[in-house]
Amino acid sequence: MGIQIAPSILTADFAHLADEAAAVSNADWLHVDVMDNHFVPNLTLGLPIVESLAKAAAQPLDCHLMIEDPDRWAPGYVEAGASSVTFHIEACRAPIRTAREIRAKGARAAMALKPATPIEPYEDILAEFDMILIMTVEPGFGGQKFLDVCVPKIRRTRDLAAKHGLDLWIEIDGGISTETIERCAEAGADVFVAGSAVYNADDPNTMVEKLRTLATDVTTH
């Protein structure tokens, strides 16, 4: 698939989400942050908004569940229209079962790791996932500063995927901008969530292309 850009609607205008989706028409995904005010100290949106957005947006939805009890709730997001559903390993009691339920319903299954959560304990279950999301800020709020300490984990995750011959996407979320995307791409990331960098730009579509070009150039030279 190459480099993919997934603008996060966390920074968008929630009163005009259909218009905000249209403003990034050349994006590969629309990243939807679902927060429950329990797993993270913020409350955003849930199933009804995802269902409405799935009908209104041209892009497939990449739903990132920052919620407690994803075993119970994650499959419902596929039914609501998400094409990819990510749950946090720190909140999940049965990650293999939950990933298989997501896949069985027809979506891509992804596991998310907080900045301090290592990838190595999950090496044996990587094959159950289509994507690993490495948080490069603490989950909960948009607009945070990128954590360079997470870059080596990107490289280790890519190495583990290669070791097991897995076609695993590695997604990065937090502080992604023109200043940070290249080092993440060089380390092995190929799906990039960008909120503030895209939606605060004068032309969000132009910024999507700029980010894609920066990451692609690093991986092709």
Annotated catalytic residues are 33, 173
Secondary structure in 3-state letters for 147-215: CHHHHHHHHHHHHHHHHCCCCCEEEEECCCCCCCHHHHHHHCCCEEEECHHHHCCCCHHHHHHHHHHHH
Helix (H), strand (E), coil (C) string for 76-135: HHHHCCCCEEEEEHHHCCCHHHHHHHHHHCCCEEEEEECCCCCCHHHHHHHHHCCEEEEE
Which residues, in sequence order, are bridge partners of residue 173?
135, 193
